[in-house]
Amino acid sequence: MKLSQSRVTEQGHVPLARFVIDWIQFLNEHGEWTQPRPDFATDEWLRDMYKHMVMTRVFDQKAIALQRTGQMGTYPSSLGQEAFATAIGIALQNEDVFVPYYRDHGTLLMRGYDMSDILAYWGGDERGSTTGPKQDLPLCVPIATQITHAAGAAAALKIKAQDNLVITTIGDGGTSKGDFFESLNVAGAWQLPLIVVVNNNQYAISVPREIQCGAKTLAQKAIGAGIHGVQVDGNDPMALYQALLEARQRIQQHKGATLIEAVTYRLGDHTTADDATRYRSNDEVKEAWLKDPVKRLQSLLASLNLWDEQREQDWQKQCAKSVDAAVKRYLAREPQQPAAMFDYLYEQWPEVMNEQLDLLIDKIDRMSSSH
């Protein structure tokens, strides 16, 4: 059979497979529609999204201030990630399982976490991980390990023939870890009810995205696992929400898992222990601020006459009041004893851990007696 020229590669081979990665965006950086307004984006929906995003930012600013003044431990800012967190928060249904990573403060707030609990967690108090829906997993600080947990939870849901699903999040750096690839592989092999959302904020701590991975998109990593992959504008909450809706629909139609790459930008440091000025320029950050998700949605609301300066001032005051009250509750907590860290690791205490616990208690006693 003679093949037409268009079906032959430059090397003279016959293509065995082709794939494309779709891109979703409704709202550009100027707050203007790039395609028709989706049905779910009612006036009320848009206002709620914006209010959640602003609340997340106000909370984040206060959390950083607490760390800077020695009242909290190292903290990973969510500045610039507000659309990412809020879209996931709205897409999650009550019975779904959420497996977060460490920058998901905005989503946790929408899952019912009290702000003071989130502050407590970053203040070293394990009780901060015990709120929220009982089926959700706590914040995960190790890189990419949460994806294996999410795949396991999704496998359990499938075995039990439950209709709910698992949504998990990860940074762009985490997609270079073996845990990530192994979990995606099992999600494809077992057709798991799993949605993996990558927060591609352009930096794995100090390593730029273009250095850490040679692929054109992170979403195409789904192809090798046999699952669906899509890239969205992560500063546009409607784009991510639309992708999550489609991913849920695919699971309901027994079409398996989805990998969503949300393209964002980390406007702040990686954590409060980081100094981003060492590895990126001020001009780059200024350019990123032009795509600020909060300002973008605010511009849209204003153009639709759904928001104005008075509403902005009133909501900012309400956010500040709520956050300040949460800070007071956090600071008023009785400090947790150091040995309590062992109380939250296992459902059933393994005897092999007794030695470590005894060593810690002994050290605490010696430190106390030396003062």
The residues annotated with a catalytic role in the active site are 266, 270, 279
Residue 230 phi, psi (nearest 5): -150, 150
Secondary structure in 3-state letters for the chain: CCCCHHHCCCCCCCCCCCCCCEEECCECCCCCECCCCCCCCCHHHHHHHHHHHHHHHHHHHHHHHHHHCCCCCCCCCCCCCHHHHHHHHHHCCCCCEEECCCCCHHHHHHCCCCHHHHHHHHCCCHHHHCCCCCCCCCCCCCCCHHHHHHHHHHHHHHHCCCCCCEEEEEECHHHHCHHHHHHHHHHHHCCCCEEEEEEECCEECCEEHHHHCCCCCCCCHHHHHCCEEEEEECCCHHHHHHHHHHHHHHHHCCCCCEEEEEECCCCCCCCCCCCHHHCCCHHHHHHHHCCCHHHHHHHHHHHCCCCCHHHHHHHHHHHHHHHHHHHHHHHCCCCCCHHHHHHHCCCCCCHHHHHHHHHHHHHHHHHHHCC
Work out the burial of residue 129: count CB atoms within 10 Å of its CB; fewer than 13 is exposed, 13-18 middle, 19 or more buried.
middle
d(CA 118, CA 126): 10
Beta bridge partners of 228: 258
